[in-house]
Structure 1
Amino acid sequence: MPNETFFNLPLEKQKRILEAAKKEFSQNPLKDASIANIVKEAEISRGSFYQYFTGVDDLYLYYFHSLGKDSHKQFLFSLKQHQGDLFATFEEFFSRWLLEIFQGDNVLFYKNLFISMDYHGMHRFFFFSDRKKEEELQPSSWHNHKKMQKEKKEMLETVDRTKLEVKSEQELHLLFQLLLHIAFSTIADGYHNHFDNGVYDIQKIKEEFYLKMCWLKKGAEKNKEVKE
């Protein structure tokens, strides 16, 4: 997360920096992103950049989360609409997210994100994988950390656990991470495997996600009748 100095900037300057980030990250994957390009586009000094962010990775992660700043509220609303059914909520949320990723205003950013993403990089973006100790956080990050913890707690409390084979909150955390991994990896696979005639087959990506969810819910192994 940005340092407190960033949040003390005028909103217009914050927006300019994020627009510069969007341009750079839409043109290049994170590993090739240039701080020099960002500071030039944002009209700030390199020294100022490091007053706001620890590095380009920090800005990248913050930009990603800024795109989905209301997603947690939307997910919680959907979860309540589905009476706590976690799988139904994930399926509905995934369908909406696909449209944002492949048809929204940040298609180039998402394309670079998912095409270059590896396993370890993927988990940096997971809402349920932030285990950083509170004493390690900057004051501004601490506020956002506490807000996220509150949102996580409300989500976990809203899930109808009677429909799930989970025995503890830790197991429910693991299930959330598994579902997020399925969602992220399915999208990444879609970029590599479902591009035809200049377009991505969103329906095919969606079908593969639903199939994986079905396997997770019901099992992929056929039930064999016991013969006497």
Structure 2
Amino acid sequence: MPKVTFLNLPEDKRETLIQAIRQEFSRVPLYQASITNIITAANIPRGSFYQYFEDKEDAFFFLLNEQVKEDKNNFISLLRQNNGDLFDTMSEFFRLILTKEDTHHFLKNIFLNMTHKIESAYARIFIDIEEDGSFKEEVSSLIDQSTLNISNDRELLYVMKIIIAVTLRNLIEKFARDLPYEEAMNNYYLEIDLLKRGLKH
């Protein structure tokens, strides 16, 4: 988490630093990123960076969490637009991620250098877990569970985990193989349709 000094920065200075961080993590993945490049782009002393963040990983996860907040709002909006249809929502969300030009390189570096910590942070778009291990009401209440072959919230949680795994794998494949948009979408539609129809007669 960024330090209080970062949150207290004037908006223009804070935005300049955020842009510098985004630029660096769009250029290279976390482990290759350079604090020198960030402070040069933001035109701040090295010491100032450490007044705002613990280290480059702290800055990276701040940026990732901001991305997660934006994408979660998009996901919830799509769920509402699709009247809780989980499969239609996920297909539209996947398309949205592929067509976001402004975050393309940042997302590519996320998906091609996925760690458990990064995956857990990104998955909060779809699954937010309460301290007791239950699915947060915010998303689950919007999903039309009557269309799903499930009996309870625990099964809904595992349905979400399966769909998230398929979604992340398709995003990784798209960026790793540099698939054309249409091919990536068709691959995802096929897998989502297989899940929707079930895999056994």
Fold conserved between structures, TM > 0.5: yes
2:104 paired residue among 104, 107, 113 = 107
Partner SS for 1:75: helix
Show the counterpart of 1:209.
Answer: 188
| Alpha-carbon spacing, 1:124–1:74, altered in 2? closer, same or farther (3 Å) | closer
2:160 maps to 176
In structure 1, the partner of 2:172 is 188
Tell me how far apart the structure 1 counterparts of residues 99 and 30 of structure 2 sit (CA, whole Å).
Answer: 23
Is the Cα contact below 8 Å between 1:6 and 1:14 reproduced in 2? Answer: yes
1:55 Cα shift? 2.4
Q: Which residue of 1 aligns with 2:16?
A: 16
The 2-side partners of 1:3 and 1:170 are apart by 36
1:79–1:89: 8 Å Cα contact kept in structure 2? Answer: yes
Deviation by residue 1:27-78 (Cα, 9 ceiling, x = unmatched): 2111111122212322233333233223222221222333454332332222
* Deviation by residue 1:100-128 (Cα, 9 ceiling, x = unmatched): 1xxx1233222222222245532332115
RMSD: 2.5
Number of positions where the alignment pairs a residue of Structure 1 with one of Structure 2: 196
Q: 1:45 to 1:166 in 2, by over 3 A?
A: farther
Question: Counterparts of 1:14 and 1:96 in 2: how far apart (Å)?
Answer: 27
Is 1:61–1:125's contact at 8 Å kept on the other side of the alignment?
no
For the pair shown, which has the larger CA radius of gyration, 1 or 2?
1
SS at match of 2:40: helix
Name the residue aligned to 1:219: 198
Quick one: distance in 2 between partners of 1:185 and 1:2? Answer: 30
Q: Take 1:131 and 1:88, find their aligned partners in 2: how far apart are those partners?
A: 23
Instruction: Map 1:42-121; keep pairs closer than 5 Å.
Output: 42-67=42-67, 69-100=69-100, 104-118=101-115, 121=118
Change (3 A) 1:165 1:59: farther
Instruction: Give the % identical residues.
Output: 32
CA gap 1:3/1:33 in 2 versus in 1, 3 angstroms: same
Q: Is the 8 A contact 1:123 1:129 kept in 2?
A: no
What do the CA deviations read for 1:83-142 (whole angstroms, capped 9, x no partner)? 211111111121122111xxx123322222222224553233211566697xxxxxxxxx
Q: Secondary structure at the match of 2:102?
A: coil
The one of 118, 121, 126 equivalent to 2:123 is: 126
CA distance in 2, matches of 1:47, 1:172: 47
| 1:161 aligns to 2:106 (yes or no) | no
Unaligned ranges ≥5, structure 2: none
Judged with a 3 Å threshold, the aligned counterparts in structure 2 of structure 1 residues 177 and 35 are, in CA distance, closer, same or farther, namely farther
Conservation of the 8 A alpha-carbon contact between 1:86 and 1:159: yes
